[in-house]
Amino acid sequence: MTTSTPAKSYTLYHSRLAKQLRSEVHISNSFAQLNLSNPASSGGKAYTAIWDTGATVTCITQKVVDDLGLVGLGKCKNITAGGAIETTRHLIDLWLPNKVVILKCDVTKVELYALKADVLIGMDVISQGDFTITNYQGKTVMTFRIPSLETVDYDK
């Protein structure tokens, strides 16, 4: 995976403590013609995503596969909270809220019914940048910058 734009950041504010970190992302088929300025012109569509530091890989639902006509790259095993499942891999271009495009993001297909989302952003994406969550005064703030620019150390 490579990013195609210079460092950018995104901050998500909640008015209370958040149980989930949600944002809108856009996804387009990696095999479609790419227009970096606009995901819609690349056939991209908007989806609700959950940011999950407990997930190793980024996942999408069957709805995303069907909406974008994604072709499977083969079968794989995915370890989930419910155990190991056999699934398929797909290549997407992932447009984060900060207008960063992760090109050729290798994702797996899973069902996310209980989460009410179509995308789960995992550590394969999160680890490409700086990711911080604060809960000051009972309000959750998540901020993400890509690529990583410095070490954040609260002990100093």
Give residue 36's pLDDT.
Answer: 66
Backbone angles phi, psi at 117, to 5 degrees: -145, 160
How far is Cα 87 from Cα 77, in angstroms, rounded to an integer? 6
Q: Is the pLDDT of residue 37 over 70?
A: no
CATH class of 20-33+41-129: mainly beta
pLDDT band at residue 119 under the 50/70/90 scheme: very high
Average pLDDT estimate for 79-98? 81
Task: Look up residue 46 and give its amino acid.
Answer: A
How far is Cα 69 from Cα 14, in angstroms, rounded to an integer? 34
pLDDT band at residue 9 under the 50/70/90 scheme: confident
How far is Cα 154 from Cα 121, in angstroms, rounded to an integer? 25
As a whole number, the mean pLDDT across the chain is: 86
For the entire predicted model, the pTM comes to: 0.84
pLDDT-above-70 percentage for the chain: 87
